[in-house]
Amino acid sequence: MDSIHIHGGIALQGQVRIQGSKNAALPILAAALLTAERSYIRNCPRIADVHAMVSLLRRLGCHVSWREDGLQVDSAQVSLGSMQGEAVKGMRSSLCLLGALLGRCGEAVLEHPGGCVIGERPIDLHLWALEQMGVVFSEEKGMIRGVAEGLHGARIALPLPSVGATENIILAGVLAEGDTCVTGAAREPEITALCRYLQNCGASIEGIGTDRLRIRGGCRLRGAEYHVPADRIVAGTYLMACIGTGGCVLLKGAPAGEMEAVLKAASQMGASCWVSEEGICIQASGCPKPVERLVTLPYPGFPTDLQSVALAVLAASGGRSIVEERIFENRFRVAGELNRMGACIEQVDAHMVVVHGAGRLCGAEVEAKELRGGAALVIAGLMAQGETKVTGCPYIYRGYENICKDFRELGARIASV
């Protein structure tokens, strides 16, 4: 199903349950390599990226099977192999297998990982950090090989809070000899989820949720059960859709404690949000309000993964907004497609756009070029008058379990074709 067809202009109403977190599930599945036992990862989203990770784990010798409410991973028979093919090229999160394989096998060989085209996203920081732990890297014909004859702990001061580099350090550190101390670590909830799973497996990690982590290496890890938390980015996407279309929506299970910056932005856009035991309820009506300046920042700031969907909503606001991207340098690719729908988005440079709110959007045929930009186009279609066709939808399915079904449950007229 390569396209999504939307008849827009319908206010969303009702409730929808938020799926498990993509960004938490993928490194946790990589961490299951470290145990040599069976783990049960509940609430794994059934999305393209998880299916690709399952394929990679199977290539490495894991027995992986879907159960009713999650994935069972038995990594007892893991053998070092070369992870080649389109699965690695198309999914940057395969890079977290690097730290896990170095911890389990002392060696890893993989193709240069890919992912969405949202900036250069160099992996130098990952390699540099692992080199501090005794890994020697070489590159030949597009392949990266890392060897650690004696993986050891280290003191690592990250110059910027890279989520992926922090995950790789943790994954390598739990089985390394000695302690690893990390300063400048990323604080994203997905890092916390990875650490909690590893703690369930018997790892000793201190400073969880802060930018200073201490990983005590050398612990024998066992298999464990873990429930993947709800996806804050999916929740934020549906929240923005409610603001853009108007209406009242309950996001069941949404992780409100991880979404303070998003809820603040929603309030600035004119929505009323309140938190209950069930999740987050959003009520919005009329044209979204512009915001003076929306800036993406590392957690707990406004997430870069929601910048595109916020841009779509602000494009239909009644005034001028500035959106500043401080994480990636190429995350405004969706602006051109939104402009085809009647938006007026002026790009100042690689990190800033000025949005002159058009008050309304019009249906058009547009193309998704990356995951979150694709979700933004779906939201734009829900807001727009008339028919919208979004192509390039395999990008969207990498992160959203069933975006069309979810929006249909909220009253939208939308279908995958």
- Going residue by residue through the chain, which has 417 residues, state the pLDDT in tens, using 9 for 90 and above: 689 999 999 999 999 999 999 999 999 999 999 999 999 999 999 999 999 899 889 988 899 999 989 999 999 998 765 555 444 554 455 788 899 999 999 998 877 665 454 445 568 899 999 999 999 998 877 778 889 989 999 999 999 999 999 999 999 999 999 999 999 999 999 999 999 999 999 999 999 999 999 999 999 999 999 999 999 999 999 999 999 999 999 999 999 999 999 999 999 999 999 999 999 999 998 899 999 999 999 999 999 999 999 999 999 999 999 999 999 877 899 999 999 999 999 999 999 999 999 999 999 999 999 999 999 999 999 999 999 999 999 999 999 999 999 999 999 999 999
**379/395 same-domain check:** yes
Q: Could you give the number of structural domains in the chain?
A: 2
- CB burial string 108-136: b at 16+ within 10 A, e below: bbbbebbbbebeebebebbbebbeebbbe
Pair 252, 401 in one domain:
yes
User: Is residue 238 domain-shared with residue 200, that is, in the same domain?
Assistant: no
If asked whether residues 188 and 241 sit together in one domain, one would say no
Residues 253 and 222 in one domain: no
Q: pTM (2 decimals)?
A: 0.95
Domain boundary among 227, 255, 270: 227
Q: Which two tokens stand for residue 415?
A: 């279908």
Q: Are residues 133 and 206 in the same domain?
A: yes
Q: Quick one: 347 and 234 in the same domain?
A: yes
Cβ atoms 124, 167 nearer than 8 A: no
For 186, the domain range is: 22-227
195 catalytically annotated: no
**Which of 200, 227, 254 is where one domain is finished?**
227
Q: Does 238 lie in the same domain as 207?
A: no
Question: Around 155, how many Cα atoms within 13 Å sit in the side-chain half-sphere?
Answer: 0
The answer to whether residues 186 and 298 touch, using CB atoms and an 8 Å cutoff, is yes
Residue 70 bridge partners (DSSP) = 42, 67
Q: Are 296 and 304 in contact (CB under 8 A)?
A: yes
Using the 3D structure, point to which of 227, 261, 282 is the last residue of a domain: 227
Query: Hey, what are 303's tokens?
Result: 């997430």
Same domain, 89 and 184: yes
Catalytic residue among 62, 96, 116, 195: 116
Shared domain check, 205 and 248: no
Class of residue 79 by CB neighbours under 10 A (exposed 0-12, middle 13-18, buried 19+): exposed
- Written as one string, the DSSP assignment of 243-255 is HHH-EEEEEET--
What are the phi and psi torsion angles at 249 (to 5°)? -135, 140
CA distances from residue 286 to 9, 245, 247, 248, 383 in whole angstroms, order as listed: 12, 8, 9, 12, 11
Q: Looking at the structure, do residues 261 and 129 belong to the same domain, yes or no? A: no
Query: Any idea what the CATH number is for the domain that residue 248 is in?
Result: 3.65.10.10
Same domain membership, residue 139 and residue 125: yes
Local structure of residue 355 (DSSP, 8 states): E
